[in-house]
Amino acid sequence: MPRLDESLLTHLPPFDGLSRTDIRRILDGAVSRRFEIGADIFREGEPADRFFLLLDGYIRVVRSTEAGEQITVLHIPAGQLFGIARAIGRETYPGRAVAAAECIVLCWPTGLWDDFTRQYPGFSLSTARTVGVRLGEIQSRMQELATLHVEARIATALLRLITQTGRPTEAGVEIDFPLTRQDLSEMTGTTLHTVSRLLSAWQREGVVQSQHRRITVLDRARLEACAQHRG
């Protein structure tokens, strides 16, 4: 593997307070890997023997319900740590990490986690913030599943994705990674049929455009109105 440059990490929150010497030491312990879209980076329940930094791409974090259903609880953009089970006191991964787009990641053995948090206080503080934000996001997803009508859940999910990953186009705002209708059903705890029916209706009405696994929001105000629907 080519030697990675320190500039890869200097602007990222877990590392931006560190010296280039410290970053060099951290990078020398990393392995770079590439994952194709749809590939599992790790599976729920597997031993958490590594933690990761996403350099490029997007990650879907999927968890299984007691009924065996798959629910996407998070999307993680480039520049963030993931697979940080050690940070929440776990020895296994609490979810499955799937490449939502082609991904390039750095990974380290979990045995280095304690060294990083002990030697680099900024790394530890940034990780604690990340964990807090993600727990809040997961709680919000669970609340949406429990309280929102299905139309509102799907609209809310699309609005969240264009806020987090949206790319402006001439037509509207495109979600910046491939998103299938099955992916959207797993995000919102509904059926593929329901997602397909709503997306088709919204496309006819000029609210969204959905083609070739790409979704563009054309009329944000209309979609926000749908997100307020309570049944």
The 10s digit of each residue's pLDDT in 59-84 is: 999 998 887 788 898 999 999 999 99
The 10s digit of each residue's pLDDT in 82-125 is: 999 998 889 999 999 999 999 999 999 999 998 988 888 778 77
- pLDDT class for 194, splitting at 50, 70, 90? very high
- Across the range 127-139, mean pLDDT stands at 84
- pLDDT class for 222, splitting at 50, 70, 90? very high
Instruction: Give the mean pLDDT of the chain.
Output: 90
Task: Write down the H helix ranges in the chain.
Answer: 20-28, 113-119, 121-147, 150-165, 181-188, 192-204, 220-227
One DSSP character per residue, 27-84 reads HHT-EEEEE-TT-EEE-TTSB--EEEEEEESEEEEEEE-TTS-EEEEEEEETT-EE--
Domain boundaries for CATH 1.10.10.10 within the chain: 149-227
- Across the range 149-158, mean pLDDT stands at 94
Looking at domain 6-146, which of 3.40.50.2300, 3.30.365.10, 3.40.50.11820, 2.60.120.10 is its CATH number? 2.60.120.10
Domain boundaries for CATH 2.60.120.10 within the chain: 6-146
pLDDT at 107: 95
The yes-or-no verdict on residue 1 having pLDDT over 70 is no
Q: Could you name the CATH architecture of 149-227? A: Orthogonal Bundle (1.10)
